[in-house]
């Protein structure tokens, strides 16, 4: 189970790196086309940036919010040998929700759908933490 749980972390890390590259490409293109001055990146003031630059930047930032709670929980689960099928499934669903959320965000950006996926992922993370807590406290 440890390797399967680690696999979910690997997917989350790859998503974060992918979003970093996408953000960089979109920022570089905007700066190259003079849609956004390089000065904007000095203070990270994206006022006036196009929607593609803003969504990619915000999505990259999002990868350091809820996913950090997930990564910490996985480290805890692996450290104390608590990984089980329930955690793998909940973790997989959480990471899947992050993938879907990210591609909605940087794609069509349908806010209601994106929010529904976000809430689903947050619930999976909550259940992950509850299961992890029970496994630890009852061990």
Confidence of residue 74 (pLDDT cuts 50, 70, 90): very high
Average pLDDT, the chain: 95
pTM value is 0.93
Per-residue model confidence as pLDDT tens digits over 1-53: 999 999 999 999 999 999 999 999 999 999 899 888 877 777 777 888 899 99
15 near 102, Cβ under 8 Å?
A: yes
If you average pLDDT over residues 64-92, what whole number do you get?
98
> In this predicted structure, what is the pLDDT of residue 68?
98
Tell me how far apart the alpha carbons of residues 138 and 128 are, in angstroms, rounded to a whole number.
15
Q: Is the pLDDT of residue 80 over 80?
A: yes
**Domains, in order of start, for the chain:** 2-137 (1.20.120.550)
């Amino acid at each position: 189970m440890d390797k399967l749980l680690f696999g979910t972390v690997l997917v989350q890390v790859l998503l974060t790196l992918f979003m970093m590259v996408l953000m960089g490409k979109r920022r570089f293109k905007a700066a190259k086309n003079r849609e956004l001055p390089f000065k904007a990146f000095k203070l990270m003031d994206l006022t006036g940036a196009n929607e593609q630059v803003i969504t990619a930047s915000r999505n990259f930032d999002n990868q350091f919010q809820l996913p950090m709670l997930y990564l910490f929980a996985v480290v805890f689960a692996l450290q104390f040998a608590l990984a089980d099928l329930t955690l793998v499934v909940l973790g997989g669903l959480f990471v899947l929700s992050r993938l879907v959320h990210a591609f909605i965000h940087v794609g069509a950006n349908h806010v209601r759908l994106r929010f529904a996926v976000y809430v689903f992922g947050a619930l999976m993370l909550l259940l992950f933490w509850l299961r992890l807590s029970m496994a630890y406290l009852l061990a």
